[in-house]
A and B are shown apart, each in its own frame.
Chain A
């Protein structure tokens, strides 16, 4: 199943305003420490990296660890500088990658 993503970015903001950005992605975040029914370790499968760029410039980055729960929710803030695109990218184990973007109008 492809990853489901929910993004909350204000559609409009005043220049210089601090805006809150909220992201949610579906992912099992299998820690690699759990044992399955057959007694063997379930291999680790997590998102390891999240990057947010604002008109191409990186504004936020997170490195995720095995202790983070399934369906990671990441919220952070940035300053609305100009109209444009805010892009989000997640990458992780087993070649996982997902991307989403939102547009913002700054007045």
Chain B
């Protein structure tokens, strides 16, 4: 690496810097960190309970529950969220965890699709992702996924919107600084779907990305857009080695 700006991290330094920064991002507000760590104080756990009920509830024309095929989620779903978004053969591109659940719902349960950001989809996703808590993020980097990771990186670095900002302009070059009084994080999506106190609800990574885009006065991609999934994939690849925190709590 030559003449990299001081805040641009090398790949080797990524894990250490990121670990420290993620811990710092939450630790800056110890009350929120304590809330996240206590399962009886973490409001995201209310959604996990809903998700557990939905996991065991029969749905659709097939009259099958998730549990009828996958059994105990604590076993079958352990580690799954740590490797999503993942490449899907039938679609020929990566799908995120929400889309994977929707596909399973449509094809196996023959149930009507859940809407993005619906309570039930968030709850199911949180329940599935909860089973990977504490496991390191590991995204497959192979011939099939590489071009989508690159596409995500390109979106991350592309300047867009009326403010002419890129994701990287804040989250690579200025993390740790303040934006309107709030710390700029490194944008590692380790705890999604997460409970944001501002939202007073659980929300997906796509919701967060869209909020960031409208913040830089760019046109947000629609829910489920290929670009959003590519960006999710790149961000998860970028966060590789950090542990899953779902359901995280953020201000």
Contact = CB atoms under 8 A, between A and B. Distances in A.
Do A and B make up one complex? Answer: yes
Interface residues of A, number: 15
Interface string A1-43: 1001011100000000000001011100100000000000000
B43 to A, nearest CB: 4
Contacts of A64: none
B43 A73 contact: yes
A6 B200 contact: no
Given A69-B200, A70-B200, A4 B38 contact: no
Contacts of A73: 41, 43
A8 B38 CA distance: 10
Interface residues of B, number: 14
B41 A26 contact: no
Interface of A: 1, 4, 6-8, 22, 24-26, 29, 69-71, 73, 75
A8 B40 contact: yes
A71 B200 contact: yes
A7 B50 contact: no
Interface string B59-72: 00000000000000
Contact of A1 (B39, B40, B119): B119
B197 A6 contact: no
12 contacts: A1-B50, A6-B41, A6-B45, A8-B38, A8-B41, A24-B41, A24-B43, A26-B43, A26-B47, A26-B50, A71-B46, A73-B41
Interface in B25-67: 38-41, 43, 45-47, 49-50
Contacts of A7: 40
Given A29-B200, A70-B200, 12 more contacts: A1-B50, A6-B39, A6-B41, A6-B49, A7-B40, A8-B40, A22-B38, A22-B41, A24-B40, A24-B41, A71-B43, A71-B200
Nearest to B202: A71
Contact of B201 (A6, A22, A25, A70): A70
Contacts of B40: 6-8, 22, 24
Interface in B84-127: 119
Contacts of B46: 4, 6, 24-26, 71
B38, B39, B43, B200 interface centre (most CB from chain A within 10 Å) = B43
A30 to B, nearest CB: 10
B50 A4 contact: yes
Interface in B183-209: 197, 200-201
A69 B195 CA distance: 13
Nearest to B200: A70
Contacts of A22: 38, 40-41
A59 B198 CA distance: 32
Nearest to B201: A70
Complex A-B, nearest 8 residue pairs according to Cβ-Cβ distance, in ascending order: A8-B40, A70-B200, A26-B46, A4-B46, A71-B43, A6-B40, A4-B49, A69-B200
